């Protein structure tokens, strides 16, 4: 239930103490508690973009508050956690440039902590042994569901007082059954839950491993997490976790629940909506900065601004401007942003990111033969035409190597026998220049077109095909500049050859 009069914008006074944590840090008179946040993914697959966005908000807040950002791997699910997934998380975080200050911690390395705290709860009477079998529980849940009842645990072992269970038993937390738990959410405001909807959740499995709802609490408490910021899907876990903090005698952190990312059909984003792994976007030729910009803007805004540097993001971020509703992931806008970043990022950086793609396309020798400066020049040549690095590979291909592969249709259309003598004359003019000069060659070209009584396009297209092999390319004279005098003349001669033998 939404608390009346509470919520996100309740009163100015109230807001001051919970919305603007930034003020707290900066205003004198408040105790300087350092912000400590964490990203706690489970290693059960690839790092997906929703996870990256959660990490991003945490990271932004930590950096802005000069706080600490912790990476914690929640791998207490033995059957689903893998080392490859842990590596995927680390690789993904590094690729988008989200550096952490502590960790990565693995929960499986902290087992004793969970077990000892669980025993503490048992001793204090906050927990009890449950000897119900998993299969029985499952059956009862199904039955309750078909009867239209709540599929909660019925609490049958709660008052049995089992002290030394034989065989496998699980430890359950004695959840409060009365009153209400109020969550004061950073993003959604005050939310109240009636405790009577709570059931006694298992905190220690019969295999001695802790469950999620218990290990998060122990870790968040022990790691002194001040703000637990996670996906919306955890909102209803919060009233289950708060009583555990309390039973353990730990202070309760602030919570913030980020709205979900949806697919085009408004269902929670999943594989069937297309690529969801962050690394898939790297492979599709997206720049990490574009990815970050897109993901942050999906659910957060700063007036009408669309493009942000990382520094701006850190400075301008605030919980107040985080959206409360879910957002549909829009690949078109991401693509536009990527194109924007390709156009405006330093060309040498784009070139650097492009190299692996060129190598992947079989151009490793060609790339090695060229200088970094030339590569950057190449990026400048095609940057407003390629929306991804993958597309850029295709645009850039004609500029490697001495000769060029002619597109058959283009050659047939533009390198006709009738063109041969005209191209020959143009070649002679260019050959007269001892060195390439964009301005001079362009003037000469235009003068030639005029003298011949041609239209610009009539000559430009055949030359374009001769130089690039295709009918679409950047400006002719920029192309020549990147090719250089020798290759320009060489390819022109080859083009004439082809035209005369057509």
Partner RNA sequence: GUCCCCAUCGUCUAGCCUGGCCUAGGACAUUGCCCUUUCAAGGCAGUAACACGGGUUCAAAUCCCGUUGGGGACACCA
Which residues are tagged catalytic? 271
Cα-to-chain-centroid distance, residue 290: 9
Out of 2, 66, 142, 271, the only residue in the binding site for RNA (CB under 7 A) is: 2
Taking the CA atoms of 475, 481, 483 and 489 in sequence, report the sign of the dihedral they define.
positive
Instruction: State the pairing for strand pair 102-106/170-173.
Output: unpaired
Q: Considering beta carbons, is residue 359 or 385 the nearer one to RNA?
A: 385
Q: Considering beta carbons, is residue 66 or 142 the nearer one to RNA?
A: 142
250 CB-contact burial (10 Å; exposed 0-12 / middle 13-18 / buried 19+)? middle
* Residue carrying the six token digits 């989200």: 98
Out of 38, 48, 126, 234, the only residue in the binding site for RNA (CB under 7 A) is: 234
Query: Residue 392, interface with RNA (CB under 7 A)?
Result: no
88 CB-contact burial (10 Å; exposed 0-12 / middle 13-18 / buried 19+)? buried
Interactions with RNA, residue window 474-493 (CB under 7 A): 474-477
Q: Considering beta carbons, is residue 37 or 130 the nearer one to RNA?
A: 130
Q: Considering beta carbons, is residue 65 or 81 the nearer one to RNA?
A: 81
Contacts of 436 (CB under 8 A, 6+ apart): 480, 481, 484, 485, 488
Query: Residue 235, interface with RNA (CB under 7 A)?
Result: yes
Interactions with RNA, residue window 294-333 (CB under 7 A): 297-299, 301, 303-304, 306, 321, 323-328, 330, 332-333
Binding mask 397-436 for RNA (x = CB under 7 A): ----------------------------------------
Q: Considering beta carbons, is residue 34 or 44 the nearer one to RNA?
A: 44
Structural tokens at position 270? 């999943």
The H or E element spanning position 450 is helix 438-451
Out of 197, 279, 314, 361, the only residue in the binding site for RNA (CB under 7 A) is: 197
Out of 440, 472, 486, 502, the only residue in the binding site for RNA (CB under 7 A) is: 472
Distance in angstroms (rounded) separating the CA atoms of residues 235 and 190? 12
Out of 99, 102, 194, 450, the only residue in the binding site for RNA (CB under 7 A) is: 194
Query: Of 100, 90, 55, whose CA–CA distance to 258 is shortest?
Result: 55
Q: Are 210 and 204 in contact (CB under 8 A)?
A: yes
Query: Residue 1, interface with RNA (CB under 7 A)?
Result: yes
In the complex, minimum distance from the CB of residue 9 to RNA, in angstroms, rounded to a whole number: 3
Binding mask 14-43 for RNA (x = CB under 7 A): -x------------------------xxx-
Query: Residue 209, interface with RNA (CB under 7 A)?
Result: yes
Query: Residue 338, interface with RNA (CB under 7 A)?
Result: no
Query: Of 299, 326, 342, whose CA–CA distance to 60 is shortest?
Result: 299
Interactions with RNA, residue window 77-136 (CB under 7 A): 77, 80, 130, 132-134
Query: Residue 464, interface with RNA (CB under 7 A)?
Result: yes
Q: Which residues pair with 202 in a beta bridge?
A: 172
The verdict on whether omega for the bond into residue 313 sits within 30 degrees of 0, i.e. cis, is no
Size of the site for RNA (CB under 7 A): 100
Query: Residue 266, interface with RNA (CB under 7 A)?
Result: yes
Taking the CA atoms of 321, 322, 327 and 331 in sequence, report the sign of the dihedral they define.
positive
């Amino acid at each position: 239930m939404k608390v009346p009069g509470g919520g996100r914008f309740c009163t100015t006074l109230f807001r001051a103490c919970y919305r603007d944590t930034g003020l707290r840090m900066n205003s004198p008179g408040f105790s300087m508690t350092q912000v400590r946040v964490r990203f706690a993914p489970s290693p059960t697959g690839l790092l997906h973009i929703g996870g990256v966005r959660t990490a991003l908000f945490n990271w932004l807040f930590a950096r802005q508050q000069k706080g600490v950002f912790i990476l914690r791997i929640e791998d207490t699910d033995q059957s689903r956690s893998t080392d490859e997934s842990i590596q995927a998380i680390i690789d993904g975080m590094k690729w988008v440039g989200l550096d952490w200050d502590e960790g990565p911690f693995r929960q499986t390395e902290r087992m004793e902590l969970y077990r000892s705290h669980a025993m503490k709860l048992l001793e204090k009477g906050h927990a009890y042994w449950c000897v119900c079998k998993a299969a029985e529980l499952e059956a009862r849940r199904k039955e309750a569901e078909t009867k239209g009842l709540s599929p909660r645990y019925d609490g049958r072992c709660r008052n049995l007082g089992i002290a030394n269970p034989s065989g496998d038993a699980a430890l359950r937390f004695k959840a409060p059954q009365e009153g209400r738990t109020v969550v004061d959410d950073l993003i959604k405001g005050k939310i109240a839950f009636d405790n009577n909807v709570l059931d006694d959740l298992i905190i220690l499995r019969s295999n001695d491993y802790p469950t999620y709802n218990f290990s998060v609490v122990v870790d968040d408490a022990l790691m002194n997490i001040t703000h637990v910021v996670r996906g919306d899907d955890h909102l209803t876990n919060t009233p289950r976790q708060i009583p555990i903090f309390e039973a353990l005698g730990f202070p309760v952190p602030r919570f913030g629940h980020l709205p979900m990312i949806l697919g085009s059909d408004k269902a929670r984003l999943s594989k069937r909506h297309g690529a969801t792994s962050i690394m898939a976007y790297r492979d599709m030729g997206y720049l990490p900065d574009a990815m970050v910009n897109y993901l942050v803007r999906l659910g957060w805004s700063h007036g009408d601004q669309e493009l942000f540097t990382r520094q701006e993001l850190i400075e301008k971020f605030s919980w107040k401007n985080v959206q409360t509703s879910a957002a549909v992931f829009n690949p078109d806008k991401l693509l536009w942003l990527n194109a924007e970043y390709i156009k405006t990022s330093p060309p040498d950086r784009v070139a650097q990111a492009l190299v692996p793609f060129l190598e992947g396309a079989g151009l490793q020798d060609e790339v090695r033969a060229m200088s970094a400066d030339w590569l950057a020049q190449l990026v400048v040549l095609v940057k407003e035409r390629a929306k991804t690095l993958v597309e850029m590979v295709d645009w850039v291909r004609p500029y490697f190597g001495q000769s060029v592969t002619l597109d058959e249709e283009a050659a047939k259309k533009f390198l006709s026998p009738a063109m041969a003598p005209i191209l020959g004359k143009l070649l002679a003019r260019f050959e007269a220049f001892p060195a390439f000069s964009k301005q001079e060659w362009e003037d000469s070209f235009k003068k030639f077109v005029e003298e011949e009584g041609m239209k610009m396009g009539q000559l430009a297209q055949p030359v374009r095909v001769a130089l690039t092999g295709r009918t679409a390319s950047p400006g002719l004279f920029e192309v020549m500049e990147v090719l250089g005098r020798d290759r320009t003349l060489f390819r022109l001669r080859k083009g004439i050859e082809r035209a005369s033998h057509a």
